[in-house]
């Protein structure tokens, strides 16, 4: 009987590389999700804007408030329909946060001019005097 050492095979060395397959899979799924949802995030209110040939205005640092008026004359503030006292309250809150808040008004081409003027008067009473009209660039 001999008491000798038995030969052992050394174990495999630890892997030093990162498995990139799960990372690539996650990134591709996120890319597809963003490609599908990005066009939907533009605006939920369907408004046919008038066309204008003016040069686009550069973005400023002032806060903006996005308002849309659809064909039926309903006013949407941040894609939420508001009317009457609720609309005036929301405009007053925006004016108290910052008096220089610019209202970006998107009105459908079928909206009567009187309805647009009514909204402008309401915004002015609430303390918002800067109103910008959003139009579609000609094709």
The residues facing 107 across adjacent strands are 69
> Shortest CA distance to 122 belongs to which of 135, 107, 109, 103?
103
For residue 98, the enclosing domain spans 64-133
Are the CB atoms for 122 and 115 separated by under 8 Å?
A: no
According to the model, what pLDDT value does residue 31 have?
A: 94
Structural domains counted in the chain: 1
Domain contains 30:
no
Domain contains 74:
yes
According to the model, what pLDDT value does residue 48 have?
A: 63
According to the model, what pLDDT value does residue 16 have?
A: 76
pTM for this predicted structure: 0.55
Domain contains 95:
yes
Q: What is the mean pLDDT of each run of 10 residues along the chain (139 residues)?
A: 66 78 93 84 62 61 81 82 82 83 82 83 84 75
**Tokens at residue 92, please?**
């007053």
Instruction: Quickly count helices (H) and strands (E) in the chain.
Output: 3, 5
Domain contains 91:
yes
The radius of gyration computed from the CA coordinates of the chain, to the nearest angstrom, equals 29
56-59's contacts with Cβ under 8 Å and 24+ in sequence apart are 56/137, 57/132
CATH code of the domain in which 100 resides = 3.30.420.270
């Amino acid at each position: 009987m001999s008491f000798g050492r038995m030969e052992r095979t050394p174990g495999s060395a630890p892997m030093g590389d990162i498995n990139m397959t799960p990372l690539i899979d996650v990134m591709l799924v996120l890319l597809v999700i963003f490609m599908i949802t990005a066009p939907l995030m533009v605006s939920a209110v369907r408004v046919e804007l008038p066309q204008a040939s003016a040069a686009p205005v550069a973005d400023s640092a002032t806060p903006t408030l996005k308002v849309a008026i659809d064909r039926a004359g309903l006013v949407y503030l941040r894609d939420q329909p508001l009317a009457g006292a609720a609309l005036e309250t929301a405009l007053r809150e925006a004016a108290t946060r910052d008096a220089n808040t610019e209202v970006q008004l998107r009105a459908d081409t079928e909206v009567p001019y009187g309805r647009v003027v009514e909204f402008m008067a309401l915004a002015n009473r609430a303390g918002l005097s800067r109103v910008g009209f959003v139009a579609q660039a000609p094709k």
